[in-house]
Amino acid sequence: MVETLTSTSSPSSWWRRWWPPSHRRWIPTNTTFLSAHKALLAALWLAFFFTVFYWQRDAAGAGGLLIFRRAFPSRMLPKLRPVAFNLTDFGAVGDGITLNTAAFESAVLAISKLRKKGGGQLNVPPGYWLTAPFNLTSHMTLFLAEGAVILGIDDEKYWPLMPPLPSYGYGREHPGPRYGSLIHGQNLKDVVITGHNGTINGQGQTWWKKYRQKLLNHTRGPLVQIMWSTDILISNITLRDSPFWTLHPYDCKNVTIRTVTILAPIFEAPNTDGIDPDSCEDMVIEDCYISVGDDGIAIKSGWDQYGIAYARPSTNIRIRNLVVRSMVSAGVSIGSEMSGGVSNVTVENLHVWNSRRAIRIKTAPGRGGFVRHITYRNVTFDNVRVGIVIKTDYNEYADDGFDPKAVPILEDISYTSIHGEGVRVPVRIHGSDEIPVRNIAFHDMSVGITYKKKHIFQCSFVQGRVIGTIFPAPCDNLDRYDEQGHLIKRSISQNMSDIDYDF
């Protein structure tokens, strides 16, 4: 339709005063122009939505159309070893469909031959690299470029079976062998997993569904498990959707986990703990973001009589500068499998948000072991149901062979600079006659509460002290000291119990 050349006083006709008459016949009417404009905008919005939809699918796995996958700019990869290989050198194809297990295994074999020359580096370029589980080797750097995604195949027949962990007696969920991890290593030294925030994706959805339907005959495998190894660095990567525990260092020494993002759905992703240091010594976890379907971090050291016999404590562990979310369990836990003992742990600069619990110690008669010399400092609770938890009746056992007289020792635990808001129960310390909690300390605590009930600082069989003024008011089990350390009031009710699980 051609615009009629009549004068008008409408604001939209200003262009007629300067537009050449000879050109006006090419200008559409206002109605036609606006209709076409709206149609174009609608088409662009649909295209944008379609693109984002498939981009999001790619972010969670290898689904979606290849043409909608993001193209990542070429970025120079650092050379951290004397020799560096590219995964494609071994025939790998990053299309999310081709199984690349043989390529990973060939690359690791090539690097294993370089251990006397400083080892080697395996670069994983942008792409979707489907694989079954594979092992690492000593003096190796696994480097994931930006846009690189290692995808674990979700068919359990490709996952090898391994003997039970010696400190657990049998597979955590089923007697007998357990599935191995997607990325595995044993008896290694000097191993680095790092990158430009590439991703290791366990595609756990199938595993979780089969677990809930009781279709699995063996304990699910972790995403990354390093055992009996020293000098381990894991940094600058994303770990997501593990079938089971996400990152499991077992009986390792000198481990650093830094700037790692760990993700799983906050519901219906069972046992997807973020990081589980297990019988580890000299370990740092720092500058991480964790949002998972179980504990963000759970420090362990074996289960009941098997952990007692294995006798490897988790000790000298520092956790700092973390943001954690756990709607099912807790931000940072110790236990409940702590039969080898846990000691000398510092948790500081921790922010726990939108979670069921913030910091928790869990154990039970039969565990044995100890939890001692534990320091929590500068911890923030943000919309958390229960802030501080010590639970001594977590009655889940490896088998009927546990010794009920093997009771754990809980002592020397301090909480300093504890703050927050939106907390239902700031403190619930549930000691017992069998397992009392000894020498616990609170200093500089102020937590905003959502329920103004009397018993929101709950204690049972607890001995310890409060230094200065804290909010909410502490239980009567604790001695009171002023800021200078002078005793103000000694408790005569250490064995009193006001635990209330009804709110």
Kindly report, residue by residue over 457-470, the tens digit of the pLDDT.
999 999 999 999 99
**pTM of the shown model:** 0.86
Q: Which of 205, 202, 237, 206 is nearest to 222 (CA)?
A: 202
What pLDDT digit, counting tens, does each position of 132-159 carry? Answer: 999 999 999 999 999 999 999 999 999 9
Q: What is the DSSP letter of 94?
A: -
Chain position carrying tokens 């792409």: 127
Residue 201, token pair as written in the block: 């994706």
pLDDT of residue 43: 55
Using one digit for the tens of pLDDT, what is the confidence trace for 439-453? 999 999 999 998 776
Tens of pLDDT, residue by residue over 202-220, are 999 999 999 999 999 999 9
Instruction: To the nearest 10°, report the CA torsion of 222, 226, 228, 229.
Output: -170
For 298, counting Cβ atoms within 10 Å of its Cβ (0-12 exposed, 13-18 middle, 19+ buried), the class is buried
The string of DSSP codes covering 167-236 is TTSS-SSSSS-EE--SEEEES-EEEEEEESS-EEE--THHHHHHHHTT--SSBPPPSEEEES-EEEEEES
**Mean pLDDT across the stretch 5-22?**
36
CA distance 258 to 235: 5
297 close to 276: Cβ distance less than 8 angstroms: yes
Residue 59 predicted with pLDDT over 60: no
Q: Is the pLDDT of residue 237 over 50?
A: yes
Q: Which residues of 259-269 are buried (b: 16+ CB within 10 A; e: fewer)?
A: ebbbbbbbeeb
pLDDT at residue number 72: 63
User: Which residues are catalytically annotated?
Assistant: 294
214, 167, 195: which is closest to 339 by C-alpha? 167
Position 282: which residue type?
D
Residues 6+ apart with CB under 8 A from 424: 384, 385, 386, 449, 450, 451, 456, 503
Q: How confident is the model at residue 501 (pLDDT cuts 50, 70, 90)?
A: confident
**pLDDT > 90? residue 27:** no
Q: Are 398 and 367 in contact (CB under 8 A)?
A: no
* Residue showing tokens 């800021």: 483
Model confidence at 44: pLDDT above 80: no
d(CA 2, CA 42): 24
What is the number of H-type helices and E-type strands within the chain? 5, 31
pLDDT at position 498 is 78
For residue 13, the SS3 value is: helix
C-alpha span between 2 and 4 (Å, rounded): 6
Model confidence at 167: pLDDT above 50: yes
Q: And the tokens for 117?
A: 């020359």
Q: Residue 304 above 60 pLDDT?
A: yes
DSSP 15: G
Nearest-angstrom CA–CA distance, 313 and 302: 9
Cα 368–chain centre separation: 27
Distance from C-alpha of 167 to C-alpha of 500, rounded to nearest angstrom: 34
pLDDT at 70: 59
Q: Could you report the per-residue pLDDT of 245-274, keeping only the tens digit for each? A: 999 999 999 999 999 999 999 999 999 999
Beta-bridge partner residues of 459: 429
Give me the amino acid identity at 142: L
| Phi, psi (deg, nearest 5) at residue 367 | -75, -40
pLDDT of residue 39: 52
Give residue 73's pLDDT: 63
